[in-house]
Amino acid sequence: MSVKPLEFSRKAKHTPESPISYFMEQALQNPHLVSLAAGLVDAPSLPAGPIAKAIADILADPTTAKAALQYGTTQGYLPLLQKIVNHVASLDGLTPGDLGVTPRDVLVTTGSQQLLYMLSELMIDAGDIVITESPSYFVYHSVLAGNGTRVMTVPMDEDGLIVTELETLLQRIERDGELHRVKLLYTVDYFQNPTGLTLSAKRREELMEVITRWASKQRILVLEDAAYRELRYEGDELPSLKSFDPHNRHVIYAGTFSKPCAPGLKTGYAVMPTELVEPMVRLKGNHDFGSNNLSQHVLNRLLETGAYAAHVLELRKVYREKRNTMLSALEEHFGDLPGVSWTHPRGGMFVWFTMPEEIATSPNSPFLKAAIKEGVLYIPGEFGYVSETGEKPRSEARLSYGDASLAMIREGVKRLRHAADAVMKASRQPVGV
Ligand SMILES: Cc1ncc(COP(=O)(O)O)c(C=O)c1O
């Protein structure tokens, strides 16, 4: 008997396949490939010991064992909410009171990814506008594509999002009569995924001045994705955008324990305007009525005992060395090649690498094919761009030093140079030879 094909929802049809899956597949199929593509964290430094101890301690006591193994509340484990609010405030050298927030303004989520998703469910109808940096975190673009969001972008430079360009964009949107459709501004303001760039102190102040000034016409929520904030290897701590919002009206601060602790715990959080909390908790009730409770109890204990803080200090050393290794390998292997440049991130896991314009880094490009042949993978930069016309920079790449060992980082960059040489040699050959 024949069966009719399934008809998927509009949302399913509009949700693109993750561009990363192809790269994951390549890495799995070819174990000799050095992956500078993966967004995975450094494996050897994952805090197995402290987590084993925290779990053992929790389970050894019948009261904490029962609490941790039972369902929790949708908003999150209250002692953890308290610690999160103190933690975020302390990163700014402030108290929760200075930030205008209490533990009741915190929501624990299943990774910060769930927060990004739920916030778009909460705020955005098809045709609404979200402003992002360009380039930006491509998994978030996929979330936005799924619900028919129009993405408008603001370029970046070495100091992060260019605030004067934001102002110009808002003026244009207003002239077009569409200001009421602008719901969110998304920024990964510390050591951005994918570029490694950071919003400067001056720009932070300017950005919040713009948002606050425009709020009488249109309240644009700032989604401050601080996923990499704690992985800082040099320079002073920069104030969060949240710290410029003392009445807790404009900024949703999205944090995660995935990068500074362990992604397997899959626990993130938001510190947000009070008026968002109840509707978000209702939505989350429909998603999962609460994130993994055991993970929350574990994190609560790691924060309480100081194990978390000690781990972050160690991790900074590990990643600082990896970053230095990647930067010196790039200097060694690409320093002599005109038209090649790369960012010098002060934290995080990513370097943004720019090839001369004539060398495309796109999927299916000769350069990517040559790189795979040489045994190295990167993420084509164009995944980070959204463009209504299809016009995008095509010679950039995201290089990650998160997962690869020091030796693999060196080897990967060397192979990348071999791939560049192969492509340049081929392009110099006369046609037909
Ligand atoms: C910028 C950014 N935001 C959010 C996330 C989501 O991480 P998680 O859901 O593990 O907290 C990631 C993960 O790579 C990221 O790079």
The domains of the chain are located at 10-46+310-426, 48-305
Residue 263 alpha carbon, nearest atom of ligand 1? 10
Please name the helix (run of DSSP H) or strand (run of DSSP E) that holds residue 184, with its range, or none: strand 182-187
Check residue 13 and give its pLDDT.
85
Q: How many helices (H) and strands (E) does the chain have?
A: 15, 14
Q: What is the mean pLDDT of residues 73-98?
A: 97
Within 6 A (CB) of ligand 1 lie 39, 111-113, 137, 188, 193, 225, 227, 256, 258, 263, 268
Nearest CA to ligand 1 atom 1: 193
| 166 pLDDT higher than 60 | yes
Q: Do domains 10-46+310-426 and 48-305 have the same CATH topology?
A: no
Nearest CA to ligand 1 atom 3: 227
Give the pLDDT confidence of 207-265 residue by residue, as tens digits. 999 999 999 999 999 999 999 999 999 999 999 999 999 999 999 999 999 999 999 99
Please name the helix (run of DSSP H) or strand (run of DSSP E) that holds residue 302, with its range, or none: helix 293-305
Indicate the range of 37-41, 61-65, 394-398 predicted with least confidence: 37-41
Say which amino acid occupies 130. Answer: V
CATH 3.90.1150.10 for domain 10-46+310-426, yes or no, is yes
How many A from CA of 227 to the centre of ligand 1? 6
| 431 pLDDT higher than 60 | no
Residue matched to tokens 């990896």:
322
What is the chain's mean pLDDT, rounded?
95
Q: Ligand 1 pocket test: pick from 20, 24, 118, 139 the residue with the most ligand atoms within 8 Å of its Cβ.
A: 139
Give the pLDDT confidence of 321-331 residue by residue, as tens digits. 999 999 999 99
Say which amino acid occupies 236. Answer: D
Residue 228 alpha carbon, nearest atom of ligand 1? 1
Check residue 104 and give its pLDDT.
98
CATH T-level assignment (fold) for domain 48-305: Aspartate Aminotransferase; domain 2 (3.40.640)
| 32 pLDDT higher than 70 | yes
Q: Ligand 1 pocket test: pick from 253, 259, 299 the residue with the most ligand atoms within 8 Å of its Cβ.
A: 259
Q: Ligand 1 pocket test: pick from 46, 186, 256 the residue with the most ligand atoms within 8 Å of its Cβ.
A: 256
Please name the helix (run of DSSP H) or strand (run of DSSP E) that holds residue 134, with its range, or none: strand 129-134
**Can you state the percent helix, strand and coil of the chain, rounding each to 5?**
50, 15, 40
What the block records as the tokens of 344 is: 């010098």
Cis? peptide before 239, omega within 30° of 0? no
Region of 160 please: left (phi>0), alpha (psi -120 to 50) or beta.
left
Nearest CA to ligand 1 atom 15: 227
How many A from CA of 269 to the centre of ligand 1? 11
Q: What is the pTM of this model?
A: 0.96
Q: What is the mean pLDDT of residues 78-107?
A: 97
Would you list the DSSP string of 193-229? Answer: TTT-----HHHHHHHHHHHHHHTTT--PEEEEE-TTT
Give the orientation angle of helix 293-305 with respect to helix 48-60, to 10 degrees.
110
Q: Ligand 1 pocket test: pick from 18, 108, 113 the residue with the most ligand atoms within 8 Å of its Cβ.
A: 113
What the block records as the tokens of 195 is: 């570029």
What the block records as the tokens of 29 is: 């199929």
